[in-house]
Structure 1
Amino acid sequence: MASSTLKYAYFPGCVAQGACRELYISTSVLTQALGIELIELKKASCCGSGTFKEDSQLLEDTVNARNIALAEELNLPLLTHCSTCQGVIGHVDERLKEFQETDPGYIDEVNGFLKKEGCSPYKGSSEVKHLLWALVGDYGLEALQERVTRKLSGLKCAAFYGCYLLRGQTTIPFDDPFNPESMENLFRAVGATPVYYRGRTQCCGWPISSYATKQAFKMAGTHIQEAMEAGADCMVTPCPLCHLNLDSRQPEVESAIGQKLGLPVLHLPQLVALALGISPKQLGLSKHIVSTQPLLEKLGF
């Protein structure tokens, strides 16, 4: 059984505290049920979602060095449930750890900005870890399986990894960036059946949605259609930005492709928590744009 002393510095990110509040709620409920302690980094700032570096790589590095330093103050790994935050902050952490060896002057420059703001310096002593990696690697799938009280038998789940979780960093733990299995293995651990389809590791379309909206919706529509054709009862994503494009905007996606879809899209902690016997109401499953009721009825809720 996993230790009950797992503890992380929690970086919830922006979207989970706004448009996808149900992700924030379900992460809290799940981690409490598993005995995982989260210390929220209340002073953390937005990671920038990859946009800061378009103006200045130094800006992105400095902002996220500060976020990491907040976790280092607690001597804890930084945990996020957002793939975009994972990719951005994790990539910065990789860069800065490399520069500690190859370009210490750059680290001094970053820490100089942090010092001016009264912040602790970046030391490179922490890890940046997505909730998925924490469940798979730290808690462990066998231990998780022991906690399942309501197996999700018969539920066919299509993972949607998206971009940042797999390819935002040079290396990722516990998985292959081109042929991932971590989410599918997690599905099996809670009794669900994984569904494979071509688009599961591709972009959801969100990054181009502000200037190429129709194309973004068509990308999302293609992925949803492929998942449905493969027999999926739902999609499951570890990224709230993917969730916005796949669930919140699914009505617009339907209009863009001229086809009715209606495929529920769950946040990763919602799926796992259902298998622990936690009620759909506690997990905010009524807050989705695409109704989760057919899925819940299939599971006997």
Structure 2
Amino acid sequence: MTMNFAYYIGCAAQQTQKEADWAAEAVCEELGIKLHRMKKATCCGAVSLRETKPAFALAVAARIFVEAEEMGMDIATICNTCLQTLSQANHRLKNDDELLDSINEVLKKSGVAPYKGTVKIKHLAWVMVDDVEADVLKSKIKKPLNGLRVAPFYGCHSLRPAEIFEAEAGEKAKHLETLIELMGGNPVRFDGRDKCCGFHVMLSDAKEMRQMVFNNTTSAKEAGADVMITPCTLCDMAMGSYQGIAEKSVGKKVGLPEMNFAQLLGCAMGLDEKRLGLNRLHVSPRPQLVARGVL
């Protein structure tokens, strides 16, 4: 049975983290999930717009929801920050009729249809676990991970505040561990699992951001991880792209391969590594994957 989602790709996956988008499309094609790109969607506004112009941020989010309603689909995304931003707006609009009415008045002035409050916001990792039958997903695993030790780095924006999300979050979150086990890997429990990646202080406090990256990757490496996966393009950028910069800043080597969860899932499905963008990763996971017979 084909599942259809309005695909809210986010800014990072369209620019710096294109491999996460490629991998998402590839694994969804294997699973019969159709990601329909939202042609009119804007940037979610993230934390900055939400804090400085809250009413405007809600209107921006509502406009995105209206597009999904017009498509007749729920929204799926691969960015934790987009997930949190849109989920928080959706939670407020669905639980405050007066607020919804006032935001719809703003939309009306812009020639946009009113938001009816019918859309759900999901992370693609949730779709894989909650909406795809485990037996179906397991049947697509052609190259099991054979015990590969995988550190699931959730980041913070897909976990907190738990009450705004459409799936289990907070301390109960286990989507990544479930996927790792279905792929034949061993989830590694480590201290940085639910910490912030540091992306959002990259410009305001570069030194602190690099220390956060170093602490999280070191925590996973010392716990025995072969690779780390994240569900977020911004976490990918921080933990992968900035890992080398963090090493130089702290003066110690980590060398932990980091990849998007969809990339590792694609590897386990036996998909072409170039299609998954493995060549774009800053610390290659090829040695670890070859050693386990995945590549």
Residue 202 (structure 1) aligned with residue 195 (structure 2): yes
- What does 1:57-206 correspond to in 2, within 5 Å? 57-100=54-97, 104=98, 106-206=99-199
Output the CA distance in 2 between the equivalents of 1:162 and 1:225. Answer: 15
Identify which of 53, 58, 62 aligns with 1:56: 53
Cα deviation for residue 175 of structure 1 reads 2.8
Identify which of 269, 283, 290 aligns with 2:262: 269
CA contact (8 A) 1:142 1:189 kept: no
Specify the SS of the correspondent of 1:166: coil
RMSD of aligned alpha carbons:
1.3
* Structure 2: stretches of 5+ with no match in the other structure: none
Specify the SS of the correspondent of 2:275: coil
Cα deviation for residue 171 of structure 1 reads 4.3
After superposition, give the CA deviation of every residue in 1:75-134 in whole Å (9 maximum; x if it has no partner): 11011011111111011100000012xxx2x22221122222222221101101100111
CA contact (8 A) 2:126 2:167 kept: yes
CA contact (8 A) 2:158 2:169 kept: no
Output the CA distance in 1 between the equivalents of 2:94 and 2:83. Answer: 16
In the alignment, what sits opposite 2:208? 215
Cα deviation for residue 182 of structure 1 reads 1.6
Q: Which amino acid aligns with 1:96?
A: L
Cα deviation for residue 176 of structure 1 reads 4.3
Identify which of 280, 283, 299 aligns with 2:292: 299
Output the CA distance in 1 between the equivalents of 2:135 and 2:159. Answer: 23
CA contact (8 A) 1:159 1:200 kept: yes
Q: Quickly say closer, same or farther: Cα 1:91–1:238, change in 2 above 3 A.
A: same
Q: Which amino acid aligns with 1:279?
A: D
Identify which of 244, 249, 256 aligns with 1:251: 244
Residue 282 (structure 1) aligned with residue 279 (structure 2): no
Cα deviation for residue 168 of structure 1 reads 4.3
Output the CA distance in 2 between the equivalents of 1:174 and 1:57. Answer: 25
Q: Quickly say closer, same or farther: Cα 1:17–1:168, change in 2 above 3 A.
A: farther
Task: Count the aligned residue pairs.
Answer: 294
Cα deviation for residue 144 of structure 1 reads 0.8
Output the CA distance in 2 between the equivalents of 1:176 and 1:9. Answer: 22
In the alignment, what sits opposite 2:32? 35
Specify the SS of the correspondent of 2:42: coil
Cα deviation for residue 62 of structure 1 reads 0.7
Superposition TM-score, scaled by structure 2 size: 0.96
Output the CA distance in 2 between the equivalents of 1:289 and 1:59. Answer: 37
In the alignment, what sits opposite 1:233? 226
After superposition, give the CA deviation of every residue in 1:175-218 in whole Å (9 maximum; x if it has no partner): 34124222111100111110000110010111111111101110
Specify the SS of the correspondent of 2:46: coil
Specify the SS of the correspondent of 2:95: helix
Q: Which amino acid aligns with 1:22?
A: E
Output the CA distance in 2 between the equivalents of 1:249 and 1:35. Answer: 34
Cα deviation for residue 173 of structure 1 reads 4.4
Specify the SS of the correspondent of 1:198: coil
Q: Which amino acid aligns with 2:69?
A: E
Q: Which amino acid aligns with 2:16?
A: A
